[in-house]
Amino acid sequence: HNNVRSHHRQEVIQTSESVITMKSFQLSFALFLISALAGLPSCLAESGARRPPKRSEKDDVELMEIIKGRHASILERLKNINKSIEDHQSGSRLMKDDMKDRAKQDVEKYTQMINDLDFL
């Protein structure tokens, strides 16, 4: 009986570890994206010379708004990731597959965000 219990605890510990690994992967991925996005305005400034003359200041302002919006949504997502790590550590048990699926969705979503910014 004791053996079963310790085996179960081992499983819970492994699940926690894999969830936290998954979360820290998400975190570092999101941070990488934020730094990529944060670098955009300066890239935009540097590429000024190659910019078609048609572009107006208004276009640039709109572009910056889009970037800021993306930035905010990634930061929001980061807060949620942090929160779920805390929730998990405080004892709620999350399913591994569920975490993998969510992480996969995040990766897809962030990739989509980066792709959306390609027109820059």
Select the more confidently predicted residue: 83 or 94: 83
Rounded CA-CA distance 98/30 in Å is: 19
Per-residue confidence (pLDDT) for residue 60, from 0 to 100: 73
pLDDT at 58: 74
Q: Write down the pLDDT at residue 94.
A: 53
CA-based angle 82:76:13, to the nearest 5? 20
How much helix, strand and coil, in percent to the nearest 5, is found in the chain? 90, 0, 10
Domain extents for the chain?
2-119
Q: What is the pTM of this model?
A: 0.28
The Cα–Cα gap between 85 and 116 comes to 29
pLDDT in tens, 33-76: 776 666 655 555 555 545 555 666 777 777 777 777 777 777 67
